[in-house]
Amino acid sequence: MKKIKIAQIGIGHNHGEAKMRAIRELSEYFEVVGVAESDPYWYEKRKGLEAYKGLQFLPEDELLNTPGLEAVAIETDGKYLISTALRCAEKGLHLHMDKPGGEDFDSFVKLCGICKEKDLAFQSAYIYRYNPAVQFCVNAVKNGWLGDIFEIHSVMSRDDSDNDSYREWLSQFKAGAFYIFAGYLIDIILQMIGEPEKISSFLQKTRNDKLIDSGLAVLEYPQATATVRVSVAEISGYDYRRFIVCGTKGSLELCPIELRGPQINEPLKVRLTLKHDCGPYTAGTHIIDCEPLGHRYARQLVDFAKIVRKEMVNPFSIEHELKLHKNLLKACKLI
């Protein structure tokens, strides 16, 4: 099996180091040819991280002209993701790009158009797409186990312990924390019940600084509402990330959405309540042990390799990516 030659462009994204670690661990799929980082701040701050040891740091132009290079992982600071991805797509490289996809929707549309025209793999790094408990929830809804959905409640919080430098970084985005985190949840909602007819948003600050650190979006459907809450000021916020879905024939709850640290190898649990027997489950309440998350990035990156090799069709189409980003920017009041 021929390895895919891949480069990482940027180390400024908060997921960049873990992403490179995952790529290097998947050595049967990828051959890493090098790393580029043009921002002196991020280069000095992160070049010595363990994930990059033994790798060449090269100027971006030189790296992108590496003979045989097929794919790139775009892990720049968030504000440079789209401009970097556009340069790589123009060169005909397959893209795994971290998220979100930029505050300017037209630029994202342009990127998706190039990828479609050049038949390039485009994978957006929304990690919950490969979370087994989230997949269970999405499939339960799609299979009709919960009947007609009338309510979804979702929360993507982060601890209140973040330092001032992280809050300062978040404040560069017009919708602050909501822009960075809400897409994870909107992505799941779109998979379950499609696009809303209307979005109303309430973006707020809990401190006297520049950061919008708390927000709520209400997605309206003909017979349903879905709420998306984001905060980086919640006590133990990671542990209360949750997803609740209610329908006419049942409900489900996933909390927390993911486990961290040593618990990452423990099964994720979904609380499922059914009015009638459905699939392998009888009427009543069940605590479902889904398989462990195991690794945040490996499953997605394996699929990326298979998509690049034409061994599978991307389960998240360009059209889905456009719908997701459009609705995220609507929720952020940017379009």
pLDDT in tens, the chain (335 residues): 789 999 999 999 999 999 999 999 999 999 999 999 999 999 999 999 999 999 999 999 999 999 999 999 999 999 999 999 999 999 999 999 999 999 999 999 999 999 999 999 999 999 999 999 999 999 999 999 999 999 999 999 998 766 788 899 999 999 999 999 999 999 999 999 999 999 999 999 999 999 999 999 999 999 999 999 999 999 989 999 999 999 999 999 999 999 988 888 899 999 999 999 999 999 999 999 998 888 889 999 999 999 999 999 999 999 999 999 999 999 999 99
Query: Order of strands across the sheet with 224-234?
Result: 198-204, 214-221, 224-234, 149-159, 242-247, 250-254, 267-274, 284-292
Q: Residue 97 burial (CB < 10 Å; 0-12/13-18/19+)?
A: buried
Phi, then psi, of 320 in degrees rounded to 5: -65, -45
Residue 89: count of CB within 10 angstroms of its CB: 24
Comparing CA positions, the residue from 330, 324, 313, 332 lying closest to residue 112 is 324
Distance CA 164, CA 78 (A): 18
Distance CA 23, CA 19 (A): 6
SS3 sequence of 236-259: CHHHHCEEEEEECCEEEEECCCCC
Comparing CA positions, the residue from 193, 190, 180 lying closest to residue 329 is 180
Residues written for the chain: 335
- What's this model's pTM, rounded to 2 decimal places? 0.96
Q: Residue 287 burial (CB < 10 Å; 0-12/13-18/19+)?
A: exposed
Distance CA 34, CA 54 (A): 9
pLDDT at 164: 84
218 token code pair: 């209400």
CA atoms within 13 A on the CB side of 23: 29
**Domains of the chain by start residue, with CATH:** 4-125 (3.40.50.720), 128-296 (3.30.360.10)
Distance CA 247, CA 152 (A): 9
Distance CA 40, CA 147 (A): 54
Comparing CA positions, the residue from 132, 127, 152, 150 lying closest to residue 288 is 132
pLDDT at 262: 83
pLDDT at 160: 72
Q: Is the dihedral of CA 111, 113, 118, 121 positive or negative?
A: positive
Query: Residue 222 in contact with residue 148, Cβ under 8 Å?
Result: no
